[in-house]
Amino acid sequence: MRRVLLMLCCVAGPAMAAEEIPPPKLSPPDTWVPHPGATIRVLNKIDSTVQTIHLTENTPVQVQYLTIKLSACFVRPPDLRPDATAHLTITDSRPDAPGFDGWMLQQEPSLNMLEHPVYDVQLVGCG
């Protein structure tokens, strides 16, 4: 019996050697990938209409009284938690109406938002 075990160890030993697999490459947690466009949702709180708008960088879009311009849009790489951020400049053509110039986050819409009595603007994503 001992002879059989010894023979099996010698024959099976090299064939059963484990192949070393390198660990997967992970992106650092602060990695963002640029995209040339963004999708936003604009809610008119007076008449309850919602419009989904696609923006391209540095091309202003008119949505009712608002002019919205995208400066940049970034997403997380696929190996990190999904999120998107966009730098938007929003102006209202009516005098004394509030505007917005800053970054909006898809996963944290209330962190930085347009504070307007008529409109809500939310980032849907990049691309």
Q: Which residue has the higher pLDDT, 83 or 23?
A: 83
Q: Which of 41-45, 72-76, 77-81, 117-121 has the lowest mean pLDDT?
A: 77-81
- C-beta contacts of 116-119 below 8 A and 24+ residues apart: 116/92, 117/45, 118/44, 118/45, 118/46, 118/65, 119/42, 119/43, 119/44, 119/45, 119/64, 119/66, 119/92
Q: Is the pTM of this model over 0.85?
A: no
Domain boundaries, the chain: 27-126
- In the predicted structure, residue 5 carries a pLDDT above the cut 90: no
pLDDT digits (tens, 9 = 90+) for 70-90: 999 999 999 999 999 999 999
